[in-house]
Amino acid sequence: MLRLILFVLVVGAAAVGLAWVADKPGTLSVEWLGYELETSVFIAGLMLGAMMLVILALWSALRYLLSRPAVLSELMKKKREQRGLDALSRGLIAVGAGDKEEARKFAGQARKLLPAEPLTGLLRSQSAQLHGDRAAARKIFETMAEAPETEMLGLRGLFLEARRENESEAARQFAERAMERNPDLAWSVNALFELQCKAGDWTGALRTLDVAQRQKQIEKPVAARRRAVLLTAQAMDAEERDMNTARQLALEAHKLAPDLVPAAEIAGRVMASQGDATRAARIIAKTWEINPHPDLALAYAHARPGESPRERLKRVNFLAQWVPDHLEGAIAVASAAVEARAWDEARAVLKPYIGNVATSRICALMARIEGGETGDQGRVREWLARAVHAPRDPAWTADGYISDRWAPISPITGALDAFEWKAPVELLGNHDPLVIEDADPQPVPDPAPVIETAAASVEVPPAPETPAPQPDEIIEADDADPEIFIPPRAPDDPGPEADTVEEERQAERKFPAPAG
């Protein structure tokens, strides 16, 4: 619109000017080199305008002729780029289809037509990988990693190649470098976290987890659980060297994940060894109510060193009441009763579970009861035989690996928090347990018989009193391991110890200390 208005104004001005000149007649004379030219002013103006138009036309023609090589070159460049992009497209399609020869062919064309294109390096590396040429692929990724625009792509390629070759340290370095360059990349953060966990680098894993949280790459509940597992792993490592640090780490883990059995067990065991039995018992009881576990029952029973088996039985009875009708509570009471030689109580608490669903632990406990109370060799043999065929008890299981103790990572895959307390899947099934008929016990002269079965010889002596564990030696805080990383707390956070005190006050009515 503005151009149209400007054009109209210019044409109008020209018309007005010509009309004004035409109304003002006059003569223009020019003498030059003996020639004399005489014409009117109007004609002279028209000639001047025509001359200017001719000059402009000649200049346009000259500029057109001079610009033709550049235009032709640009046209050829565009055609070359189009052919290169076509080769890239067809090459990537060939890579996706697994056509090695086509991928190599188009990778060569793309390298020739578009040597500076980042996708050319990707196509070449993928083609080299299809042909199994790992050295060539790695060289291409190294070149890409040196260029700013392809650095992240090159680092990812180098990381994947290192992982394929089981070069864990090299893979860790590439992932760490990628995370430093761009923390928003989830693959680098996750890969570095996984490698640090596999290597047992709990300090580094905690720092990487902090990065993932800051970049909002992980949900808060998942991050809290992972942090609790990592802190528990650190507490396990620190328990023998610095019990104060182990206590702090375990309490922090317990605060983040109250259902995490190892965290509560370590915190309770360390606090009990330091003479803080009441708070230790309440920490253990809190987790026991959420997730009953035999390790918690054992730690609770020995929370007060030096107690007699009868006193420990009283404590375990108090703990079991918080999970009524739960199998773990019954087994814990029965085990403590066997140690206290309270045979009737042990039988009574196991009676609801000695039917067809009796597990191996229940059968083994019944064998101990028969051997310790009556010494009936036949009954003991029957219970032990039944234990062999009984359904398996829950165990710490991760990726098909069964362990008698919890570990922070799976020994098979290295995944964090992989262990679960459950019955091994491959051992689940219906079992036909032996039926033990009720009969009067046969007196035997030896109260500690040796029972021989086809599998092994098992000696079942009367249950001796288990000596109470002595408190571990307390190491001063100055001896703390400098490699242990404890995440910083906010200025208004009083720390796990203060939280434990507050929880103790809140739970005083719920978990009162048993008498004695």
pLDDT for 503 equals: 53
Residue (of 327, 316, 325) closest to 284 by Cα position:
316
- Give the residue-averaged pLDDT of 475-486: 35
Query: E strand or H helix at 93, and its extent?
Result: helix 41-97
- Structure tokens belonging to residue 211: 């990065």
Which of 17-31, 58-72, 270-284, 454-468 is predicted least confidently?
Answer: 454-468
Q: Beta strand pairing status for 401-403 and 27-32?
A: unpaired
Do 355 and 386 form a contact (C-beta atoms < 8 A)? no
With cut-offs at 50, 70 and 90, classify the pLDDT of residue 133.
confident
Do 242 and 250 form a contact (C-beta atoms < 8 A)? no
Residues 6+ apart with CB under 8 A from 342: 310, 313
- CA-to-CA distance for 384 and 381, rounded, in angstroms? 5
- Give the residue-averaged pLDDT of 262-280: 93
pLDDT for 29 equals: 79
Q: Beta strand pairing status for 395-398 and 420-422?
A: antiparallel
**What's the pLDDT tens digit per position in 88-101?**
888 889 888 888 88
Residue (of 117, 46, 43) closest to 87 by Cα position:
117
- Give the residue-averaged pLDDT of 227-241: 95
The phi and psi torsions of 450 (rounded to 5 degrees) equal -105, 120
Residue 311 β-bridge partners:
none
To 10 degrees, the CA torsion angle through 54, 60, 66, 69? Answer: -140
Which of 125-139, 272-286, 399-413 is predicted least confidently?
Answer: 125-139
**What's the pLDDT tens digit per position in 54-80?**
998 888 888 877 777 777 788 888 888
CATH for 242-341+478-516 (1.10.3470, 3.10.290, 1.10.60, 1.25.40): 1.25.40
pLDDT for 39 equals: 78
Domain ranges (residues) in the chain: 242-341+478-516
With cut-offs at 50, 70 and 90, classify the pLDDT of residue 501.
low
- Structure tokens belonging to residue 17: 């000017």
pLDDT top residue among 92 and 262: 262
Residue 30 β-bridge partners:
37
- CA-to-CA distance for 93 and 358, rounded, in angstroms? 60
